[in-house]
Amino acid sequence: MEIKYRSLAVDRMLERNISTMEVELVISEPDGTIKQSEDKFIFYKHIKGRKDNHIAAVTILKSRNTIEVLTVMIDFEVPQ
């Protein structure tokens, strides 16, 4: 699967010290997924060695083989 990044996502990754490898891990092996609309999803995961709660990636499914990352977050609180 191809992962593309919007400029906002890249800016937030730099601000929050999140690597592309971590984002790819969040998307490929999430602890959970929240569907927001037909093509928009939030993937989240706790990554060992990071002190933040969860890393989350807000994504849009652009095609069967392409995901576009809109933004990334840290300390994401999983809805109960």
Q: Kindly state the tokens that stand for 45.
A: 């995961």
Q: Kindly state the tokens that stand for 79.
A: 């809805």
State pTM to two decimals: 0.92
**For the chain, which ranges sit under pLDDT 50?**
none
Q: Check residue 38 and give its pLDDT.
A: 94
Number of domains in the chain: 1
In a domain, 79, yes or no: no
**CATH number of residue 24's parent domain:** 3.10.450
In a domain, 80, yes or no: no
Helix (H) or strand (E) holding 28: helix 20-28
Q: Check residue 1 and give its pLDDT.
A: 85
In a domain, 78, yes or no: no
**51-74 tens-digit pLDDT:** 888 999 999 999 989 999 999 999
Name the residue with tokens 């400029």: 7
Instruction: Write out the residue range of the structural domain in which residue 24 sits.
Output: 2-73
In a domain, 6, yes or no: yes
